[in-house]
Structure 1
């Protein structure tokens, strides 16, 4: 059998879009979900043991309706294998940290049933200009390794981009933020027009909706997956804050104004569903004291505000796995999501330990679409 061809387009070769590939929506059926195992002591407190329990709970919830792969560094393989149920597949896949949404592949599908992926450039959310850790050499190899495991084509994109920076509706529309994709610490040589063209070329989309900013104090420079996402064609969920004294309120109003004035690639107006913002949430003294302090990583200090959001959920085949972050708002957010996904079971997972590391359930997962 001949090995799979790895496609790495350059200026004189075809792009995924010209070959008929496109990124499907997250709410389309999946074959699997990919995750990574947390262990960095400067990101995850107390040797990542509390975070590992939270990651395991997320993996178990998703595994109720789709295969889950958890990539693990060799020195944590036995520990992860013991902590995770037998039906969750543990594979050796070295990483610098555990944010599979951003370091993993963006999967593409073809009408003829083929699967492929985009291999974006990764610089740890800003490189040496605001990046969250150094080095990120293992993270950069994850997409190549998964392409080899699955035997699928890998399209190398000439731009820095993380998976959490975009959402698509599977019908030609992409939503993102100016704060992230136009940040000079990502692609200083690209303007908005050039960025949109690359998104069309590599994701098979037709229209980009630009929101101004992401959530307040989001250390990813404003990933859209913490603020807004598609829940169906023509419908989005938006994190919402009513407190005018909170900086997040202005961000929400800006986003709402853009969304209400926008139409998708099919010409439909967008229906916006508001999800309450949890908190505000802050890092406690005992939570910060359990972390290693390294000059090469982002500091996490007592009193720092965290960018908590119920929009940071994962849409599985038969479930929506959402973070539980605030007893005041958890049940309200869960009820709203159940209304948006009446045919799926909404599963809440205590997720503060994930948020302490800088993200949440959507950030630690990456769907592999069914073909």
Structure 2
């Protein structure tokens, strides 16, 4: 079925049991879909993807992100009841206040039955810059979930170890594997951005 709506894979995140996470900045941005009210976008997602509900995040953005805040750089489902999200512990960083506001929204999210999610905050890596001095959108939550492992971008800084340890708690039945993230963020992405996931039984 063809649907006249522009949607990138990194702009939506599902838990596999009917809930979808996304950002208002991306899905309602006029760069993509001019004139779509939020209620109509939500109905389109529910009907087209077989969902029960859409969870909207309206705060949080990364400097250098050219996607209008794809959710896969900000907040991710690790399982149906577990969420990992980025935060910033450094008050001098421009991301500190926006990500504090985003954290409050994440903490207010509930599972479909009203139960709070298990939440895991992951600190941003130290600021990453390109050769021209422009800040790049480094994020540990742009990980890629595979059958038996999780590929996590790392940036050669102090926050790497904490991020890997936290994500190993989020995925106790998988092996968390660090992969170099610096080259991918020079193209404004990470492992999740650079790949397409195909369900079992799908042929290319």
Aligned residues: 200
Which stretches in structure 2 are left out of the alignment for 5+ residues?
Answer: none
Tell me which residue corresponds to 2:78.
231
Asked if 2 retains the 8 angstrom alpha-carbon contact of 1:171 and 1:265, the reply is no
Corresponding residue to 2:144 among 298, 314, 323? 314
Aligned-residue offset at 1:258: 1.2
The alpha-carbon distance between structure 1 residues 225 and 320, as it changes in their structure 2 partners (threshold 3 A), is same
Tell me which residue corresponds to 2:35.
189
Deviations 1:273-309 (A, max 9, x none): 011211111112xxxxxxxxxxxxxxxxx11100100
Tell me which residue corresponds to 1:326.
156
Tell me which residue corresponds to 2:195.
365
Aligned-residue offset at 1:338: 1.2
Q: Any runs of at least 4 consecutive aligned residues in structure 1 with deviations exceeding 6 A, and if so which?
A: none
Tell me which residue corresponds to 1:102.
none
Q: What's the TM-score once normalised by structure 1's chain length?
A: 0.52
Corresponding residue to 2:121 among 262, 267, 274? 274
Aligned-residue offset at 1:214: 4.3
Aligned-residue offset at 1:186: 1.2
The reply to whether residue 200 of structure 1 matches residue 30 of structure 2 is no
Q: Give the Cα–Cα distance (whole angstroms) in 1 for the partners of residues 43 and 112 of structure 2.
A: 15
Indicate the RMSD between aligned Cα atoms, in angstroms: 1.3
What pairs with 1:54-133 in structure 2 (closer than 5 Å)?
none
Aligned-residue offset at 1:184: 1.2
Which stretches in structure 1 are left out of the alignment for 5+ residues?
Answer: 1-154, 285-301
What pairs with 1:199-348 in structure 2 (closer than 5 Å)?
199-217=45-63, 218-284=65-131, 302-348=132-178
Aligned-residue offset at 1:346: 1.1
SS in 1 for 2:140: coil
SS in 2 for 1:366: coil
SS in 2 for 1:272: strand
Q: Give the Cα–Cα distance (whole angstroms) in 2 for the partners of residues 208 and 223 of structure 1.
A: 15
Deviations 1:77-136 (A, max 9, x none): xxxxxxxxxxxxxxxxxxxxxxxxxxxxxxxxxxxxxxxxxxxxxxxxxxxxxxxxxxxx
Aligned-residue offset at 1:234: 2.0
SS in 1 for 2:166: helix
Determine which structure has more spread, i.e. the larger CA radius of gyration.
Answer: 1
The alpha-carbon distance between structure 1 residues 214 and 162, as it changes in their structure 2 partners (threshold 3 A), is farther
Tell me which residue corresponds to 1:123.
none
Asked if 2 retains the 8 angstrom alpha-carbon contact of 1:213 and 1:222, the reply is no
SS in 2 for 1:362: coil
